[in-house]
Structure 1
C-alpha cells in the first residue's frame, strides 16, 4: 500500500493509492491461505515442498548409482513435508476448536435465549402479582378505614335511644304544629267574625246617624 500527501486549497489531503485492486487483494489472500503463506516475500512452503519432491523424483529416475543422494533427498522431502504438515495440523486443531467453540456458543446462545424468555415470563408474572397485591392492599386499606369509621360511631343502643328520642320529639312537634294550625284557623275565623261584626256595627251606626239627621231636619222644618 502506497500513501501520498498533497495540498488542495491550502489543506492537506491524504490520497491513498493501492498497489492492488480489491479483487486482486482477495485472490492474493485466498492464495496465501491455500499455500500457508502470510506474506508476499519469501518462497511459499508448498512450492518448497514441490521442489523437494521434484528433486527427489528426478534423482530417482537417474540410472546412476545415487542411492545415498536419493536417501538424502528423500529425508529432506520428508522433513519438508513434516514442516508443511505441522501448520496444517495446527490449523485443523484450531478449526476443530473453533467448531467446538461455535457449538458451545450456539448452545450458550440458545440457553441465554431460553433464559431471556423465561425472565420475560417471570417479569410478566411478577407484574401481575404486583398488580393483584396493590388491589388487595387497597381493599385492605379501604376495609380498615371503614372499620375505624365504624369504631368511631357510638354503640347501637345509644344510637337507637337517640333515634327514639328524636322520634318522640318529632311527634310532639307535629302535635304542637297541628294544635297551632288549629288555633290559627280558629283565630282566623274569629277575626273574620269580628271584622264582620265591626262592619255591621259601622253600618248600623251610619244608618242611625242618617235617621237622626233626617229627624232633626224634619223637626226643624216643622218649627
Structure 2
C-alpha cells in the first residue's frame, strides 16, 4: 500500500500544476511551485488512509524545510527589493543630477556660442584694424605732416614777402623810370631852348656888331651892358635841373610815406647815371 501511495497519476500532477498557475500571481518561481506541490502532497498523505504517520511527518518536515527556504527567498527578495529601491532612488537622484548637468551644459553651450560669436567679431575687427593700420603706416605720421605743412606755410609766407618786395621794387622802378623819362623830356626841351637861344644870341650879336658901325658910342655902351645882363642870366639847363629836383623830391616824399624814410631826403639809389648830373647841378 505504501508503494501504491507513492505512485502519482499523471492527470493529478497536471491538475496540481494548473491550479498553481491559476492561483499564484508569480512569475515561474521554482521554489513556490515546489512548495505548493509539497503542500498538496502533504494534504493527500494526511487524507489517505494508507499513509502512515511517519510518512506524514516526513512530508511535513519537507514542507517545513520548503517554508524555511521560501522565507529565506522572501528575505532575499525583500533585500533585493530594498536594494532595488535604493538603487532606483540613487538612479533618480543621479538622473536629476544628470539633468541638472545637462541643463548647465546647455547654458554653458549657449554662453560659449555667444562668446564664440563675440570672439569671431573681435577677430574680424582685429584683422580689419590690422589691415587699416598697414594702410595708415604707408603714410607719414601726423607730426611729420604737421611739420611739412608748417614748412610749406613758412615757404609760402617767405614767397609772399619776396613777392611783395618785388612788387614794391617794381613799383619803385616804374616811378623812377617815369621820372627818368620826364627828366629826359625836360632835358630835350631845355637843349632845344638852349639851341634856339644860342641862335638868337648869335643873330643878336651879329645885329649888334652891325649896329656898332652905325650907332654912336653911347648906344654901343648900352648894347654892351645889355649883353652883360644877358650873359648874367642863368641858363635854361639850371631851371630844368631845378624842376627835375622838385619832381624827385615829390617822388621821394611818396616813397618816404611807403618806406618810412625821412621827408626831403633824396634817394639816388637805383637812378640811371644819365640823370644824376641833373641832381648834382
TM-score w.r.t. length of structure 2: 0.36
Larger Rg belongs to:
2
- Structure with more of its chain in strand, by fraction: 1
